[in-house]
Amino acid sequence: MVGNWSFGRKLGTGFALTVFMTVVMGVVAAYSLQDVSFHLDRAVVVEAPQILDAERLQTATVRQAAAVRGYLLDPDVRYTQRLSDARTNFAGLIARFRGYVRTDEGRRQVENLARLESDYREAANKVIALRRNHTEASPFAKPFDDEVLPKQQQLSEAIEAFVKREQGQQVEATKAATGAASSAIVLVAAIAAVVVVFAVILATFLTRLLSRQIGSAISHVQSSSAELQAASNQQAGGAREQATAMSEITTTIGELLATSRQIAESAQRVAQIAEQTAGAADNGDGTVTKAYESIAAIQRQVELLVGHMLDLGKKSQQIGVVLEIVSELAEQTNILAINATIEAAGAGEIGGRFAVVADEIRKLADRVAESTKEIRGLIDDVRTAVNTTVMTTETGSKAVEAGSKQFAEVTNAFKKIAGLVSTTTDAAREIELSTKQQASAIEQVNTAVSNIAQASKETESSSTQTQQTASELAGLSNALLQLVRPQKAA
Amino acid sequence: MTGQPAFVGARAAEFRAAFDRTFAEPIRIETARTTDLLAIRVAGDRYALALAQVAKLLGGPRVTPVPGPVAELVGIASDRSVIFPVYDLGRLLGREASEGAPYWIVVAAGPVAMGFAFDGFDGHVRVRNDAIVARPPGDAGRRFLREVVETPAAALPLIDIPSVIESIEATVRGAASGKER
């Protein structure tokens, strides 16, 4: 868990623990000092003034006795005044002690002192009254010795005991302060020792942990610096290649710019030619329309020709029928002539002349038959020619019809061409505009590429600097490694 | 187109002139040195018949089939109230029978009217007598074809009609004698 902490967290935690221990030690020391101060204050601030006040009680008692004695010797008002001041002083001190004392024994002693002082005051007042009424010493000497002096002695002894008591309390307070100081010294020393041990352990732990991690990190830094050096070498090479490529790209873009301008000029010429083509297409449309009308007229003439040819074929068939009749007649004539020849031969010499006629009729019939064959051949040729002509004419008619359809398609095509040429004109203008925009863009690209080339050169120089920095970083990492792991570095 | 009527007119004029010339010239009968023949077709082959052996040539006569003792008998026909039997000339010559009804019939000259049917008639042929030659002896197996006529177009076997009639009559007599027995 601790291994995943950052250096700052580890160091901060160590310092926080150390500070915590130091704070604990300081708190304990402060508490001990406060305890020592309390006891010292009790010994110096509380007990010492009480001792002084107790001494002042003794002094006030002595002053009362001196004032009583002086008045007895010389009943002057001056002594009564001193006596009054001393009594007032004593009463004030008693009042202060009543504020000081906290224990029952102390209160009892203070009240005892007040009672003894009151007894002493009554006895002294009696003697002073005797002195005020008598001038000789005999009437008040004896009361003075019997009553005043013992009470004075009791009061002095009580004050003395009270002073001793106060002094004993001061000694106890002083001893308590000394003991508290000794305890504080021991406790602070122990805590300091614990803090020192903890600090040493923490320092050792952090040193080992940080040395291990920093050493590993430095190793990584070394390898990374080596990789960075190699990468910077590659980057420098790449930057040089990029600079070269950018130079070539700049040249190419220049050529591209020139080409774009040529394209723009060509597109402009294309637009002009497209406009001329549109005019030519319109003229061609008119010409094609006229040609279409001419072809329609040719088609009508061809259909008329086909009709005539079909009539001719029918007439040829009729001629053939007539010719069949003629051929039949010639054949019958031939048969008759042959039979006449036979009959003439049977008639002997009488039928000789008839035989001649019959022979001539047979010859004529033969010739008619031959001529009929020739005419049949001619008619067949005519019919074949008519059929061929009709078929050819029908083929031509179909071709003309197809041509007419094709001309209609051509007309539509011309219209489409005119529309497309218009579209081409618009497209050529758009191409011209786009090419100009492209040229402008290419100029911007050229500028950008120049900037990139400059940046590549700067990258090359920065790569060199990076390479140097990587070398310095490698040296620094070696130095750091020696600092962290001197035994390994040695 | 203009040449065709002139051509037809010339042919017609030629025919007319030849016909007129025939009647203008004196009559010359050369029957002694020539022989008239009929060129016919039987089963696809050409033959010749001597016009002197023929009494009549008929084209397209009606033949009524009748049974008879001779297998080659086709039927009977009539011409000018004369009824005569008609035989298939092709079968008599040993060829295949004609498909369909024969169109041409020749009636043999002689005391008994007898017709012979054949497929086609090519026309009248007149040849010199020396154009008719006898067939070689080795070829005498065909009994009705004893001579050959040399025509300008081809050599035609000459059918001897009397021998054909004689063969038929012999067959008929044989059949009649068979019935009498």
Residues 6+ apart with CB under 8 A from B138: none
| CB burial of residue A383 (10 Å; 0-12, 13-18, 19+) | middle
pLDDT in tens, A316-371: 888 888 888 888 888 888 888 888 888 887 777 777 778 878 888 888 888 888 88
Q: Does B113 touch chain A (CB under 8 A)?
A: no
CB pairs under 8 A between A and B: 50
Q: Is B81 left (phi over 0), alpha (psi -120 to 50) or beta?
A: left
pLDDT in tens, A59-75: 988 988 899 888 888 88
Encoded amino acid at A44, one letter: V
Closest residue to B57, CB basis, from A335, A352, A353: A335
Residues 6+ apart with CB under 8 A from A400: A295, A298, A299, A302
Mean pLDDT of chain A: 82
Distance (Å, rounded) from C-alpha A91 to C-alpha A422? 135
Q: Tell me what pLDDT residue B12 has.
A: 78
Average pLDDT over residues A391-407: 78
| Interchain contact B52–A (C-beta under 8 A) | yes
Asked whether the beta carbons of residue A331 and residue B59 sit closer than 8 angstroms, the reply is: yes
Shortest alpha-carbon distance between residue A360 and chain B (Å) = 7
**pLDDT per residue over B36-68, tens digit each?**
899 999 888 899 999 989 999 998 888 898 888
CA distance B72 to chain A (A): 25
Query: What integer pLDDT is reported at residue B115 of this predicted model?
Result: 94
Contact across the interface for A352 and B52, Cβ inside 8 Å: no
pLDDT in tens, A14-34: 888 888 888 888 888 888 888
Interchain contact, B124 vs A331, CB within 8 Å: no
- Amino acid, single-letter form, for residue A27: V
Query: What end-to-end distance do the CA atoms of chain A give, in Å?
Result: 32
B29 inside 8 A of chain A by CB: yes
At A297 the pLDDT is: 85
Residue B80 touches chain A, beta carbons under 8 Å: no
Are the beta carbons of A362 and B52 separated by less than 8 Å? no
Which residues 149-178 on chain B approach chain A with CB closer than 8 angstroms?
A: none
Cross-chain CB nearest to A339 (options B27, B31, B56): B56
List all residues 6 or more positions away from A359 whose beta carbon is below 8 Å from its beta carbon: A337, A341
Give me the residue spans of the domains in chain B: 37-180
Mean pLDDT is highest, among A188-197, A432-441, B74-83, for: B74-83
Q: Do A368 and B22 touch (CB under 8 A)?
A: no
pLDDT at A196 over 50: yes
A393 shares contact with chain B (CB less than 8 Å): no
Nearest chain A residue to B104 by CA distance is A335
SS3 A424: helix
Choose among A331, A337, A345: nearest Cβ to B52.
A345
Any idea which residue has 């610096």 for tokens?
A225
Question: B91: part of which helix (H) or strand (E)?
Answer: helix B89-92
pLDDT at residue A489 greater than cutoff 50: no
Query: Which pLDDT score is estimated for A315?
Result: 86
* Burial track A432-456 (b if 16+ CB lie within 10 A, e otherwise): bebbbebbeebeebbeebeebbebb
Nearest-angstrom CA–CA distance, A388 and B29: 52
- Predicted pLDDT at B141: 47
| CA distances in angstroms from B132 to A138, A466, B30, B156, listed in the order given | 248, 134, 16, 10
Q: Do A364 and B19 touch (CB under 8 A)?
A: yes
Hey, are the CB atoms on A356 and B22 less than 8 Å from each other?
yes
Residue A3 has pLDDT above 80, yes or no: no
Alpha carbon B21 to chain centroid, angstroms? 30
Q: What angle do CA B117, B121, B126 make, to 5 degrees?
A: 120
The answer to whether the Cβ–Cβ distance between A339 and B22 falls below 8 Å is: no
Q: How far apart are CA A24 and CA A18, in angstroms?
A: 10
Task: From B105, B133, B134, select the one nearest B119 (Cα to Cα).
Answer: B105
pLDDT under 70 in chain B at which residues? 1-5, 26-32, 98-101, 137-141, 179-181
Considering only the beta carbons, identify the residue of A335, A353, A356 that sits closest to B59.
A335
Reduced to 3 states (helix: H, G, I; strand: E, B; else coil), residue A45 is helix
Nearest to A352 among B29, B38, B59 (CB): B29
Superfamily of domain B37-180: CheA-289, Domain 4 (2.40.50.180)
Q: Which of B16, B21, B22 to mutate to test the interface with A (most CBs of A within 10 A)?
A: B22
B82 touches chain A (CB under 8 A): no
CA nearest neighbour of B124 among A358, A350, A354, A329: A358
Question: Are the beta carbons of B124 and A334 separated by less than 8 Å?
Answer: yes
CB contact under 8 A, A352 and B27: yes
- Rounded to the nearest angstrom, the minimum Cα separation between A369 and chain B is 10
Q: Do residues A30 and A178 make contact, with C-beta atoms less than 8 angstroms apart?
A: no
Using the predicted structure, report yes or no on whether residue A413 has a pLDDT greater than 80: no
Crossing angle of helices A149-346 and A7-40, rounded to 10°: 170
Backbone dihedral angles phi then psi of residue B112, each to the nearest 5 degrees: -105, 125
B94: left (phi over 0), alpha (psi -120 to 50) or beta: left
The chain B residue lying nearest A353, using CA atoms, is: B27
Task: Tell me, yes or no, if B67 comes closer than 8 A to chain A by beta carbon.
Answer: no
Distance from the B169 Cα atom to the nearest Cα atom in chain A, whole angstroms: 24
What was the pLDDT predicted at A488? 47
Question: How many Cα atoms within 13 Å fall on the side-chain side of residue B130?
Answer: 0
Work out the minimum CA distance from A339 to partner chain B, whole angstroms: 6
Q: CB-based contact (8 Å) between A333 and chain B?
A: no
